[in-house]
């Protein structure tokens, strides 16, 4: 399933005390309306984050617990169509947080929004497909990182100036910002997707590592998760394109690799792909990278693929 529709099953019973992981912290999640983005939104809210969700499709508030509605702000935007959409989205998030009596800050950015290609190879990919996939999967995430790095650096400087226990000669900054990019097994392999999707996810991993190194001394961490075949909107797209719009020759070369992770459906004569990996499992990996338990983890690309990427 794309998300847990039985909302109470998402959350472990606990006391009503403040959750130190998320209370008072502001997170932005792109692609929040479905799949990994929705699961991530639900999970962050369950840990008392204030979440600004961004998606180009309308968000269904029925997918959230009523108790979480007051800590969720939805901003509908197409991060590709408008070159200023990412900067505008970050500003809107900052203003919305301030209007909810929260600090005017951005603590976490989770870049989830993505689009699959049609498995076309370099000899058959069209300019339209190449441009769209690279714009959604690489350009928009980099623009979102650019939009939040300014506020995150300001937060680092404020924390540094307020700190009384740090040695005056130290160049390190207290933790002030966390960025998680949702890449893919396709970001480290050439055998699981078309050339456009593969190039976009390789590029996103490169951008992740560059940001991690460049801002490592400014209290900013940047990591990526690499999901394998996940039951998500992209997973559904794979199944759908088996019947429509698929580059048959390209997919024929990749199908044996997908078969190593996919499980056959219980019903006969079906063409859909089944996998044990859920969007919620990916969201839990993201939550770990956001937590203080990962405070020394920076520039890492964490597979969430049940060893699919170990081949």
Catalytic hit among 3, 61, 197, 306: 197
Own/partner contacts of 195-199, CB < 8 Å, gap of 24 or more, are 195/117, 195/120, 195/121, 195/122, 195/125, 195/130, 196/117, 196/120, 196/125, 196/129, 196/130, 196/133, 196/134, 197/116, 197/117, 197/133, 197/137, 199/134
Domain of residue 116, residue span:
22-162+172-306
User: What pLDDT, on the 0 to 100 scale, is given for residue 231?
Assistant: 72
User: What pLDDT, on the 0 to 100 scale, is given for residue 258?
Assistant: 83
Catalytic hit among 153, 201, 284, 306: 201
User: What pLDDT, on the 0 to 100 scale, is given for residue 13?
Assistant: 44
CB-based contacts of 293, cutoff 8 Å, min separation 6? none
Residue 271, in any domain of the structure: yes
User: What pLDDT, on the 0 to 100 scale, is given for residue 171?
Assistant: 47
Residue 39 phi, psi dihedral angles, 5° rounding? -60, -40
77 forms bridges with which residues in the sheet? none
User: What pLDDT, on the 0 to 100 scale, is given for residue 170?
Assistant: 45
Residue 32, in any domain of the structure: yes
Residue 1, in any domain of the structure: no
User: What pLDDT, on the 0 to 100 scale, is given for residue 176?
Assistant: 86
Residue 9, in any domain of the structure: no
Task: Decide if 284 is catalytic.
Answer: no
Residue 222, in any domain of the structure: yes
Residue 147, in any domain of the structure: yes
User: What pLDDT, on the 0 to 100 scale, is given for residue 309?
Assistant: 86
Residue 51, in any domain of the structure: yes
C-alpha–C-alpha distance, residues 295 and 175, integer Å: 8
Q: Chunked in runs of 10, what are the mean pLDDT values of the chain (311 residues)?
A: 48 68 96 97 97 98 96 98 97 96 94 96 97 98 98 80 51 75 97 97 98 96 95 56 77 88 58 72 98 97 92 77
Structural domains in the chain (count): 1
User: What pLDDT, on the 0 to 100 scale, is given for residue 259?
Assistant: 84
Residue 3, in any domain of the structure: no
E strands present in 151-287: 177-182, 220-227
Angle at 280 between CA 275 and CA 306, to 5 degrees: 40
CATH code of the domain containing 130: 3.40.50.720
Residue 268 phi, psi dihedral angles, 5° rounding? -70, 160
Task: Decide if 197 is catalytic.
Answer: yes
């Amino acid at each position: 399933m794309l998300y847990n529709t039985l909302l109470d099953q998402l959350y472990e019973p606990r006391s009503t005390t403040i959750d130190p992981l998320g209370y008072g912290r502001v997170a932005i999640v792109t692609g929040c309306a479905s799949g990994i983005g929705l699961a991530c939104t639900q999970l962050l809210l369950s840990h008392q984050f204030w979440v600004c969700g961004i998606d180009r499709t309308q968000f269904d508030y029925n997918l959230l617990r009523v108790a979480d509605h007051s800590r969720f702000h939805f901003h509908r935007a197409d991060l590709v169509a408008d070159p200023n959409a990412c900067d505008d989205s970050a500003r809107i998030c900052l203003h919305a947080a301030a209007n909810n009596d929260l600090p005017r800050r951005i603590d976490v950015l989770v870049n989830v929004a993505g689009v699959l290609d049609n498995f076309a190879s370099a000899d058959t990919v069209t300019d339209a497909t190449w441009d769209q996939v690279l714009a959604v999967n690489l350009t928009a995430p980099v623009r979102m990182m650019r939009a939040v790095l300014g506020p995150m650096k300001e937060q680092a400087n404020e924390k540094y100036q307020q700190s009384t226990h740090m040695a005056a000669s130290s160049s390190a900054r207290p933790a002030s910002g966390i960025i998680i990019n949702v890449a893919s097994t396709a970001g480290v392999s050439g055998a699981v997707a078309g050339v456009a999707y593969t190039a976009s996810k390789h590029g996103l991993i490169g951008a992740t590592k560059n940001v991690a190194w460049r801002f490592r001394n400014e209290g900013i961490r940047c990591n990526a998760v690499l999901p394998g075949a996940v039951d998500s909107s992209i997973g559904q797209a794979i199944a759908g394109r088996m019947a429509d719009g698929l580059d048959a020759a390209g997919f024929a070369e990749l199908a044996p690799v997908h078969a190593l992770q996919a499980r056959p459906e219980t019903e006969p004569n079906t063409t859909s792909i089944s996998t044990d990996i859920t969007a919620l499992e990916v969201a839990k990996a993201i939550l770990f990278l956001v937590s203080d338990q990962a405070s020394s983890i920076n520039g890492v690309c964490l597979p969430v693929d049940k060893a699919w990427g170990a081949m």
